[in-house]
Amino acid sequence: MRHLAIAAATAAALALTSCGGDSFHVEGSIGSAEDSLLYFEQMGIDGPVTVDSARLGADGSFSFSAPRPEAPEFYRLRIGGQVVNIAIDSTETVSVRADYPTMATAYEVDGSAECARIKELALMQNDLQRRVTALGRDAALTPAEARDSLEAMLAAHKDRVARDYIFKDPKAASSYFALFQAIGSYLIFDPGGAGGDIKAFAAVATAWDTFYPGSLRGENLHNIAIRGMKTERIMQTESQAAIDPAKVTTTGLIDITLNDNQGRPRSLSQLKGKVVMLDFHLYGMDDSPQRILWLRELYNKYHDRGFEIYQVSIDPDEHFWKQQTAALPWVCVRDPEGAASPRVSMYNVSSVPEFFLIDRGNNVVSRSTQAGDVDAAIDALL
């Protein structure tokens, strides 16, 4: 696990931009906290920023309001070292009830499904922290045994969080929140390590690029994911020196097999005998409709002569992708690993859209930057 300063985590929890007009509300009560100062804080780029505060009375009631953010944003209620994390993505009203001695772990939250999921994640993190601390105090374990146990704990935790939260709905505020949970000063999901965690960052980054374009959090996460993928590629290059020969056919094609929009496995190599455009695409892009029209023109013009398109989507939302591709005539497959997929890395795709032209013998002839006049290039191969 790579050490990352807490500042790196808070740098990802940024965005103070909000739109005027509509407001959200956070209200409730904190018992057993009379005369305590309750802070309402936004998690800014340099750490918590106080939005408001209230001196609690005998009944512990409080009410805060602030302008609705343009994209999901994170706040917290704090008394001393006790914290309740809150996500806001609309003009909602979130209600929180707790007692001060157990405020961080035994609170109740209503009005926001995302806040409920964040509570689940926070409790899971607290349990992991407790078990890690107990492991460090177990004198009966050798250093190697303690390390193995720690790795097993982290792997099980990350598998559950990735499966049940991050990949289940990568655009959700709770998925973003999960990426930056930490044990002490160590991020649980490490965007700079070799353990494959970058796939989780890339999935959420892709979703936020799609659903919250231009948001500060989304752009920051996008940059983190890109840096992580570059680091991972460097590490893979150093360990492999070259692409695994088993992944390359006799004709030099790096084969791809993924399920199409009907759930059927489709292989790129099965199109041998045709001229193929291997296209990496993201339907969530702003200019996707225009590009699909261009591809339709190419397909309609050359398909009868033996031209085919094998399009690999890296969209995080499978249902959205199926809707977008339902009426398309070419081979549409989706890579569930998104931008962090090894198939994307093997073709050295650093941004989408990107395409490659493949001749009838399954040889990669050129990529977009080398194709020049695409119509002329396809016509020459046919």
Range scoring the smallest mean pLDDT among 326-335, 349-358, 363-372: 363-372
Mean pLDDT, rounded, for 82-107 = 93
Output the CA torsion sign for 133, 134, 137, 138. negative
Other beta carbons within 10 angstroms of residue 207's beta carbon come to 25
In sign, the C-alpha dihedral spanning 341, 343, 347, 351 is negative
Report the pLDDT averaged over residues 214-218: 88
pLDDT of residue 102: 93
Block residue for tokens 């005539």: 329
Residue 183 predicted with pLDDT over 60 = yes
Q: Rounded mean pLDDT of 144-158? A: 89
Residue 47, helix vs strand vs coil? strand
Smallest Cα–Cα separation from 97: which of 55, 62, 50? 62
Residue-level pLDDT at 288: 87
Tell me the average pLDDT across 317-324: 91
Interacting residues of 110 by C-beta distance below 8 A, sequence separation 6+: 94, 95
Average pLDDT over residues 84-92: 91
CB contact set of 57 (below 8 Å; sequence gap of 6+): 34
Mean pLDDT, all residues of the chain = 84
Interatomic CA distance for residues 150 and 66, integer angstroms = 41
Other Cβ atoms within 10 Å of 326 Cβ, number: 10
Cα dist. 145→130, 132, 148, 151, 184 in Å? 18, 13, 5, 10, 21
229 membership: H or E segment, kind and range: helix 216-240
CA dist., res. 94 & res. 85, Å (int) = 11
Q: Please give the single-letter amino acid code of residue 265.
A: P
- Dump pLDDT digits (tens) for 243-296: 444 444 434 578 899 999 999 999 999 999 999 999 999 998 888 888 898 999
Q: State the greatest distance between any 2 C-alpha atoms of the chain, in Å, as a whole number.
A: 82
Measured in whole angstroms, the distance separating CA 68 from the mean position of its chain's CA atoms is 23
Q: In the beta sheet, which residues pair with residue 44?
A: 47
pLDDT at 248: 40
pLDDT above 50: residue 240: no
